[in-house]
Chains A and B, each alone.
Chain A
Amino acid sequence: MAVAKLTASAIQCHLGTQLALNNISLTAEPGQLTGIIGTNGAGKSTLLSVLAGVQSNFRGHVSIGNKQLEQMTSNERARHIAYLPQNPQVHWDLTAQQVTELGRVPYRRRFNWLGPLTAADQQAVTAAMAATQCEDLAPRPIQSLSNGERMRVHLARVLAVKAPIILVDEPTTGLDPYQQIHCLEVLRDEARQGGTVVMVLHDLDLAARFCDQLLLLHNNQVLSHGSPAEVLTPAHLLTAYRIKPPAGLAFNGLNLANWEKQTD
């Protein structure tokens, strides 16, 4: 797997008449797990879709290594970026195995669509399903799975692409605590093996624990950018999320379960 740095500069994006992203820049390095955090509607998912190259309506530049995204063919881009959108869907009742195999679409030859997967494809699919602990789900129809199980299959589909850049939007949605931790460990492993991983995450405790750098979005702009310790300060969290540490207690680490809403 080649390594590739992902750079976005001065991204401006409108969704309809609404400004969704205002002058956002980001560099995600190979080997690092980058987290995008912020309140609902802050622009996290829009930013990720811009990075993934599936959002055409924006200004600014996204590049992989030193090549701009728009100069790549769609297939070249698909081999470089594996993307898991928010609320992933499957419209036909495919099995978990078939869904994971769709991760190999960028590698299939156009006129060999009836033939079986190549050995390399098969290997990537098997490895991805093993990594997300989906082997047992393989023969089951996707519609028969629980939300958390489906999410794991989608994550397997993303890993099966074996792309140097992995963009995932709330990959822990619906997962039980064990699987949440496992999911983030898998993504961290991908990063440690040279992958560039960017994810949107709501759970700040998990973000603090696993991410190498965080981007905190607020009102469609970057409020703070840096290591978790730099970003997750009481002042930033008060501005962005309107939450504060419990009264009378000193701030030591996050442990958000104890936090309180800001009262005006």
Chain B
Amino acid sequence: MHIGFRKLLLLLAVTTLCLFCLSLMLPSNILSTNGAAPFLLLELLNDDTDIAQTILIELRIPRATLALFVGASLGLAGAAMQGLLRNPLAEPGVVGVSGSAALGATLAFYTGLATIAPLALPLGGIAGALAAVIVLFSMAGKRAGTTTLLLAGIAINAIAGALTALVLNLSPNPFAAMEIIFWQMGSLADRSLLHLQLAGPLMAAGWILILLAAPATRALSLGEVTAASLGTNVRTTQRQIIVGTALCVGAGVAVTGVIGFVGLVVPHLLRKLCANDPAKLLLASAGGGATLLLAADIAVRCIPVGTELKLGVITALLGAPFFLYLIFQLRTLEQ
């Protein structure tokens, strides 16, 4: 398939817009439309009561916007990490960045910091993500074989998992622990305008940093030395991507929990359409991530099961086999 890059971006933008509108129209669970409350957007618009407005402003808009923001962040962060580590398997969830962000956010919850200052929640997530990216980059940044990268990811995931388990273990209140566990599964349900206000600007800052580094990722595909000889400031580029990724993933995970594999699947599907250009892939992956997460969030609301499926559960169910398939493909390539 061959379509121009501009057309691809346009297509992604239009799809994202359509899905965004659809997301605004749908209630949090399609089954409960049997109930009495107004749910679909049309009903809401015909209804002048405060409840209708409240539902739209307090629930639907934050949910759809967060799906858009977090999806774009995860897609962008995935493509950025792949450019940075020069490995198509580098993905925030797989290599433990999301897990560390979750740990940071959990700590902000647990210590009560998040109650005193709500901003502590995304900042905790960003701190966790930043620590993970820095460790990962120092281990696998230079000449990362796939094995080193994945082993580093396993180790970081294990450490983050162990510490999170410790926090849950020490939690005096079983209900609080329960809440944290559910939150970690990753979902957009019941997120408020406050969450969007807290995390949105931080994610946007991450996008800007990553996109500033975008042109340099092209030269970096020839390796650090050649990139430097072509006038690229390699250190600055790497720092922009590291901090940008931490902002995107950290702030996103802090409000939605861990939604894995978006950053793996999206760049993989779009890479060919961007002619393998790592710079173009960044922009396209942001659009693709937003599209995917909006669609997945609509899907979880439409699947008729009693309890709402968590978004993170769905992306993991679909993404993990895909991950296995990619490893398999790479293995045959490397042989």
User: Could you tell me which A residues sit within 8 Å of B by CB distance?
Assistant: 49, 52-54, 73-79, 81-83, 85, 88-95, 98-99, 102-103, 105-106, 108, 110, 113-114, 141, 157, 161
> 15 new A-B pairs (CB below 8 Å) besides A74-B228, A110-B215, A157-B222?
A52-B229, A77-B231, A89-B222, A89-B226, A90-B222, A94-B221, A94-B275, A103-B230, A105-B219, A113-B214, A113-B215, A113-B279, A114-B5, A114-B280, A114-B283
B219 touches which of A77, A88, A93, A102 (Cβ 8 Å): A102
A-B contact list, 28 entries, CB within 8 Å: A54-B225, A73-B231, A74-B228, A74-B232, A74-B233, A78-B231, A85-B229, A88-B222, A88-B226, A89-B222, A90-B222, A91-B220, A92-B221, A92-B276, A93-B276, A94-B276, A98-B275, A99-B222, A102-B221, A105-B218, A105-B219, A106-B231, A110-B215, A113-B279, A114-B5, A114-B279, A141-B276, A161-B230
Closest to B88 in A: A92
Query: What's the least CB distance linking B236 to chain A, in Å?
Result: 10
B276 touches which of A76, A79, A85, A98 (Cβ 8 Å): A98
- Decide if B200 is an interface residue (CB 8 Å cutoff): no
A70 to B283, CA, bound (A): 34
Closest to B87 in A: A91
A117 to B216, CA, bound (A): 16
Tally the A-B contacts, defined by beta carbons under 8 Å: 81
User: Could you tell me which B residues sit within 8 Å of A by CB distance?
Assistant: 5, 86, 214-215, 218-223, 225-226, 228-233, 275-280, 283
Query: What's the least CB distance linking B140 to chain A, in Å?
Result: 13
Question: Are the C-beta atoms of A78 and B230 separated by less than 8 Å?
Answer: yes
- Chain B positions within 8 Å of A108 at CB level: 215
- Chain A positions within 8 Å of B214 at CB level: 113
- Chain A positions within 8 Å of B275 at CB level: 94-95, 98
Question: Are the C-beta atoms of A83 and B226 separated by less than 8 Å?
Answer: yes
- Chain B positions within 8 Å of A141 at CB level: 276
A161 to B229, CA, bound (A): 11
B226 touches which of A85, A95, A113 (Cβ 8 Å): A85
A17 to B232, CA, bound (A): 28
Question: Are the C-beta atoms of B230 and A106 separated by less than 8 Å?
Answer: yes
Query: What's the least CB distance linking A150 to chain B, in Å?
Result: 12
Counting chain B CB atoms within 10 Å of each CB, the highest count among A73, A81, A83, A92 belongs to A92
A102 to B232, CA, bound (A): 11
Question: Are the C-beta atoms of A81 and B222 separated by less than 8 Å?
Answer: no
A99 to B222, CA, bound (A): 8
- Chain A positions within 8 Å of B223 at CB level: 85, 88-89, 91
A75 touches which of B215, B220, B226, B231 (Cβ 8 Å): B231
Closest to B82 in A: A92
Question: Are the C-beta atoms of A91 and B215 separated by less than 8 Å?
Answer: no
Closest to B212 in A: A110
Query: What's the least CB distance linking B233 to chain A, in Å?
Result: 6
- Chain A positions within 8 Å of B232 at CB level: 74, 105
Question: Are the C-beta atoms of B215 and A85 separated by less than 8 Å?
Answer: no
- Chain B positions within 8 Å of A81 at CB level: 229
A172 to B225, CA, bound (A): 20
Query: What's the least CB distance linking B9 to chain A, in Å?
Result: 9
A158 to B226, CA, bound (A): 10
- Chain B positions within 8 Å of A85 at CB level: 223, 225-226, 229
Closest to B215 in A: A113
A98 touches which of B231, B277, B283 (Cβ 8 Å): B277
- Chain A positions within 8 Å of B222 at CB level: 88-91, 99, 102, 157
